[in-house]
Structure 1
């Protein structure tokens, strides 16, 4: 049997993820892909274009991943999203916190990286505070509260939170066939909804939605087809090389913030190694920077006053804590998670949107008070 070169495979996985991160950052910056902006456009102006772009991205990523799963190229149960235990209180509370935080901080986790790449110094502060808050929720004081009081409030599924299975069990005595049909039909219906309006048929919406969706799918391809080895030579168990917890990891930008700061602070400690989440963060920043420089929109930007600083600080804390509770951000849950068709991910996504709407309402109230 040919010996597996684990180091070489892991290096390839990290470089491939970095390249996908570059593409994600460049496409998102060039097309103004932004989840917070999408919700704000609908809430403030009734403009659905960026929302349709986001839905197109969800549809493309979901169609691709479900196709991989049906073809036997991806094991969705190896992700964190399809556990049979759903900590619903953490997911909903964390989603609302993250959604509110991304409005106060002028963008979600991925948008913060994109703004940082384009020269926004406010995004640098958000990155650091969000990373520290996420770490505190993973392992620190907030983590104790999470583990003792929030995560234990859970619902147990008979098998998993896979939405096609849950729906097919309700409507058919032959659930497996119906489930496979639903796995493709659900994202197709989303795509039809997104493109049903003529306003969606413009270059920015199509390129942004399809481009971001394909990068999320590419990240899944790397982890399932390049990072997976059925038997690690050291442990003799299956492994996902380059992952943090030996799970199949899609794009997400909350916990990787914490691990990026950890890697930078403990660089000389050989036990701290690069993971796909960390290199994805670096890739998105550099991809956005390259896009900003080529279109000559790169510029330094800083805070406008005390209230602006306070909003970004509070928003960063809410995103760091909320993102860990919800097991992801608008990319981690809103693209990677929902592409697995996990019911828990869809609930987290709706919670994020709800939190964003509450914060937008608050901002509107603040403006009206000042007039």
Structure 2
């Protein structure tokens, strides 16, 4: 039975949902086992330690870039209709949103994907922060914060098409993107080898996480090319799906079933399995009022920032970065900058929060 027949029999939404669940489970499993986390990578970078966390993120990012560019070169993927490239974008939203998101993920000790992964491991702090992130994202999309988001986004815009494609702007094309990805992959292997805590899951998990990001692009494109309906080519992201699931629970009629429907449950299940196999399941909560206030404020910054930036650390940073979308790269730079500034600000404050209030037993570890 070919894909066209399956789509005709079961419908595009059901097939996309199953694919989203499978790819999400793979992402959740590999991200959990490798401790994949942009926030931890940024801290290592700004503190010039260049250790395990930075190595894992570089492995995942470089793998996603290389795989996506190979798919483009072999004509197994077409991202010309992807929202990160095709429609008008906002450079002001990308930069300011990235800065806010980066600051927020330092306060919550994890980006949106990391919060979901940790929630499946029993971390109630991450669960609360994730829920507030989803509420703020929805409020920024079509609620009380939408006018502010629209105003900031209108300050500096860029037309869709080649104007949003860094490979087209620079004239290097997919071969240039592949070359850049291979250079980053080489750097990732170098830092991984130098890391004193290197282990097999750092390598396998980092590469597997990147492959899951590329698989989302490929799968949605394959479905769109075989479907008689208008199917959006999309990649992994967590801001939009989080807001969608919130509305699915709170409103009726619910949004149509699609890739995003299966993604979040898949990531949760994959992370739970990874934590169960690694004996990482542990119920954790808040220790004091200060830590709760910090997490709530950080989640609000991340929720608003992600909708301004056009995605979260994975959606804008890795998914958009892998196709060299201009706004995605500006968002990613903003996230690194905002996270570095907030980390410096919090480090310069008197210590008020016990180490046990972090997402992991060690304050810097995620």
After TM superposition, is the score higher than 0.5? yes
The 2-side partners of 1:324 and 1:52 are apart by 28
The 3 A distance-change label for structure 1 pair 186 and 42 is closer
Q: 1:84 offset after TM fit, Å?
A: 6.3
Q: 1:363 offset after TM fit, Å?
A: 1.5
> Any conservation in 2 of the 1:83–1:160 contact (CA below 8 Å)?
no
Residue among 191, 195, 209 paired with 2:189 = 195
> Any conservation in 2 of the 1:87–1:150 contact (CA below 8 Å)?
yes
Q: How many residues align?
A: 347
Q: 1:21 offset after TM fit, Å?
A: 0.8
The 2-side partners of 1:18 and 1:306 are apart by 36
Per-residue deviation, residues 108-148 of structure 1 (Å, max 9, x unmatched): 01000011000011112112111110011100121112223
The 3 A distance-change label for structure 1 pair 187 and 304 is same
The 3 A distance-change label for structure 1 pair 226 and 150 is closer
Q: CA RMSD in A?
A: 2.3
Q: Which runs of no fewer than 5 residues in structure 1 stay unpaired?
A: 169-177, 233-238, 241-246
> Any conservation in 2 of the 1:88–1:155 contact (CA below 8 Å)?
yes
The normalised TM-score by structure 2 is: 0.88
Residue 221 of structure 2 aligns with which residue? 224
Residue 250 of structure 1 aligns with which residue? 235
Q: 1:228 offset after TM fit, Å?
A: 4.0
Residue among 280, 298, 306 paired with 2:281 = 298
Residue 174 of structure 1 aligns with which residue? none
Q: 1:88 offset after TM fit, Å?
A: 0.8
Residue among 323, 338, 356 paired with 2:339 = 356
Q: 1:28 offset after TM fit, Å?
A: 1.0
Residue among 8, 12, 18 paired with 2:11 = 8
Residue among 290, 309, 314 paired with 1:331 = 314
> Any conservation in 2 of the 1:69–1:75 contact (CA below 8 Å)?
yes
- 1:275 aligned onto 2:258: yes
> Any conservation in 2 of the 1:10–1:227 contact (CA below 8 Å)?
no
The 1-side partners of 2:349 and 2:121 are apart by 28
Residue among 241, 245, 252 paired with 1:260 = 245
Residue among 45, 63, 68 paired with 1:65 = 68
Which sits farther off after the overlay, 94-103 or 66-75?
A: 66-75
The 1-side partners of 2:87 and 2:14 are apart by 33
The 2-side partners of 1:370 and 1:216 are apart by 35
Per-residue deviation, residues 161-196 of structure 1 (Å, max 9, x unmatched): 22222112xxxxxxxxx4242132121121122223
The 3 A distance-change label for structure 1 pair 181 and 316 is same
The 1-side partners of 2:50 and 2:178 are apart by 28
Q: 1:47 offset after TM fit, Å?
A: 3.2
Q: 1:271 offset after TM fit, Å?
A: 4.7
Residue 285 of structure 1 aligns with which residue? 268
The 1-side partners of 2:187 and 2:95 are apart by 25
The 2-side partners of 1:89 and 1:274 are apart by 32
Q: 1:274 offset after TM fit, Å?
A: 2.7
- 1:21 aligned onto 2:24: yes
The 3 A distance-change label for structure 1 pair 146 and 211 is same
> Any conservation in 2 of the 1:257–1:278 contact (CA below 8 Å)?
no
> Any conservation in 1 of the 2:85–2:161 contact (CA below 8 Å)?
no
The 3 A distance-change label for structure 1 pair 281 and 231 is same
The 2-side partners of 1:312 and 1:262 are apart by 22
Q: Which runs of no fewer than 5 residues in structure 2 stay unpaired?
A: 355-366
